[in-house]
Amino acid sequence: MQLEALYVAQPALTAQAPILAIAVPLIGACAAALAPSGRAGWMISVVAAMVSAWMALAVAGEVMREGVILYQLGGFAPPAGIALRVDAMGALIALLIGAVGTLAAVFSGHSLAAEVRPEKHTLFQAGFLLAQAGMVGLVYTGDAFNAFVFLEVSSIGTYALVAAGERRDRRALPAAFNYLIMGTIGATFYVIGVGFLYGATGTLNMADMAARLGTLDQNAAVQAGFAFIVAGLGVKAAMFPLHGWLPGAYAHGPSLISLFLAATATKAAIYLMARFLFEVFPDGAAFGDMFLQWVLAPLGAAAVIVCSLQAVFARELRRMIAFSSVAQVGFIFLGFSLANASGLSAALFYMTAHGLMKAAMFMALGGLAISIGARRLEDFAGVAREAPWTAVAFGIGAASLVGTPLTMGFLAKWQIMEAALAGGRIWIFAVMAAGSVLTLVYVGRIIEVMFFREPAPGAPRAKESPVGVLVPLLILAGLSLWFGIDASLPQQLAQAGAASLFEVRP
């Protein structure tokens, strides 16, 4: 599929698509909060998420035809005015957010009934749409301070959504509090860093900021701003060792928010970090290059090995997959650390692959939780016999996580490893190979329990997921397979996004 030839909306509607992708879920959040019933709130959530995804697809096609899209707000041109600025990288992440958000909204019709108190359903849907709007705004905005605003809009929704899981697991409350504290620290660091950069450049527009930073020599305020921004976004992105909030939030929150966070939240923060690393600080500022080589690369490698080992020894299945997510973030940062277009393109492609595979795995576990409500790995013994379609979809996501050929995960991992070899970073290739072996170990444990063990006597019997869960689940699993064979759509956006960021670099 060639995105340049993709027209999904009339030109007049496409021209307004960037703001509609943000405004529709925001309006939907207000409508869902006022909905008379949980079913009405669910319908509003599905429609709003679908429209946002439709607009994101329209934006992606326009970006591939026209290049960077600039959408002025309030009639004032940047840098004085606020604007949305969408390039191929932002279009790719927004498409991921929109697609996963739509499938998650459909899934929520059944999952919330099992995991969230009925009186909270409408507010839960409102918080979910608020989080989606914030994440899309984060990847579309061209203003550093508005990125902070959208970051907090999405976070406010997700803090409350994690806590809503207390009906199923009381540990959701301390997990949400931990997430709130760590997220607030990360956001505070980010906005302090933006303040330093504003003091040095006099602008908040990221493109204008990049141009002015290019004229400054070694500047202590700029270096301090860089450090604060990277640390703040590192918390939000679950960069090792700042990932302490993630395992609890993913393991104890409701299934809906676990899959949505795993697929999108860290990706949006990583996107913003890439924007600062490769665009706002153009020409590879000396301290930026040092950070990539001597901080980001070692921390990425440590995440791959340490968190994969933690996943190997975890007893609870969702916690195992949560530690796996931190390890996969390490893979992404290893791609960033190559500091070239091929490495960044491979990392962006891996972000998309990871979002789809983790969404499928958490959705499958959510479907199983409706019938058995299990947490420990051994509680899932033999579920493939009772719920074969759900188990197969989980297995496809797990196969992509390992990097099995003919899955999207295989292509994504291989592209990073190939870029590492081309850049002479054999040690990155070795770390990724070791991480993949460890991934095979803990994924093998899961598959062995689900498919080859007998259920324990007296254990709850699993049931096949309802149609409202199976349809989005099989779509997610199918995408991991389809993009493992024909990955032209996400690769076009990933390659174009990486190329645009490195046009200004030597």
Cα 291 to Cα 268: distance, rounded to the nearest angstrom: 20
Q: Give the list of residues 6+ apart from residue 298 with CB closer than 8 angstroms, or none.
A: none
> In the beta sheet, which residues pair with residue 316?
376
**C-alpha dihedral (184, 186, 190, 191), degrees to nearest 10:** 10
Average pLDDT for the chain: 87
- Residue 250, pLDDT above cutoff 60: yes
Q: Quote the DSSP letter at residue 79.
A: T
351-394 residue pLDDT tens = 999 999 999 999 998 888 777 766 778 888 888 888 889 999 99
Largest CA distance in the chain: 71
Confidence of residue 285 (pLDDT cuts 50, 70, 90): low
Identify which of 261, 55, 45, 228 has the alpha carbon closest to the alpha carbon of residue 140. 55
207-247 residue pLDDT tens = 888 888 877 766 788 888 988 999 999 999 989 888 888 88
321 Cα distance to chain centroid: 14
Percent of the chain with pLDDT over 70: 95
Single pTM value for the model: 0.93
Confidence of residue 505 (pLDDT cuts 50, 70, 90): very low
Cα 224 to Cα 188: distance, rounded to the nearest angstrom: 14
Cα 468 to Cα 288: distance, rounded to the nearest angstrom: 47
- Residue 147, pLDDT above cutoff 90: yes
The least confident of 65-79, 132-146, 179-193 is: 65-79
Cα 446 to Cα 314: distance, rounded to the nearest angstrom: 11
pLDDT of 374: 64
Confidence of residue 13 (pLDDT cuts 50, 70, 90): confident
* Host H or E run for residue 84: strand 83-86
* Host H or E run for residue 128: helix 121-140
**Tokens at residue 36, please?**
């008379």
Are 336 and 432 spatial neighbours (Cβ–Cβ below 8 Å)?
no
Q: Is the model more confident about 84 or about 67?
A: 84
User: What HEC string does 273-328 produce?
Assistant: HHHHHHHHCCCCCHHHHHHHHHHHHHHHHHHHHHHHHHHHHCCEHHHHHHHHHHHH
Instruction: State the number of CA atoms in the 13 A half-sphere of 383 facing the CB.
Output: 32
pLDDT of 6: 67
- Measured in residues, the chain has a length of 506
Percent of the chain with pLDDT over 90: 45
> In the beta sheet, which residues pair with residue 71?
84
Cα 348 to Cα 355: distance, rounded to the nearest angstrom: 11
Give the long-range contacts of residues 9-14, CB within 8 A, separation 24 or more: 9/54, 9/55, 9/58, 13/58, 14/58, 14/59, 14/61, 14/62
- Nearest-Å Rg of the Cα atoms of the chain is 21
pLDDT of 504: 45
200-214 residue pLDDT tens = 888 898 988 888 887
Mean predicted confidence (pLDDT) in 26-53: 92
Q: Give the list of residues 6+ apart from residue 283 with CB closer than 8 angstroms, or none.
A: 214, 504, 505, 506
- Residue 427, pLDDT above cutoff 80: yes
Highest mean pLDDT among 58-72, 172-186, 405-419: 405-419
Q: Is the model more confident about 323 or about 282?
A: 323
Are 196 and 221 spatial neighbours (Cβ–Cβ below 8 Å)?
yes
pLDDT of 506: 37
Q: Is the model more confident about 460 or about 284?
A: 460
Beta-strand ranges (E) seen in 410-472 are: none
Are 250 and 320 spatial neighbours (Cβ–Cβ below 8 Å)?
no
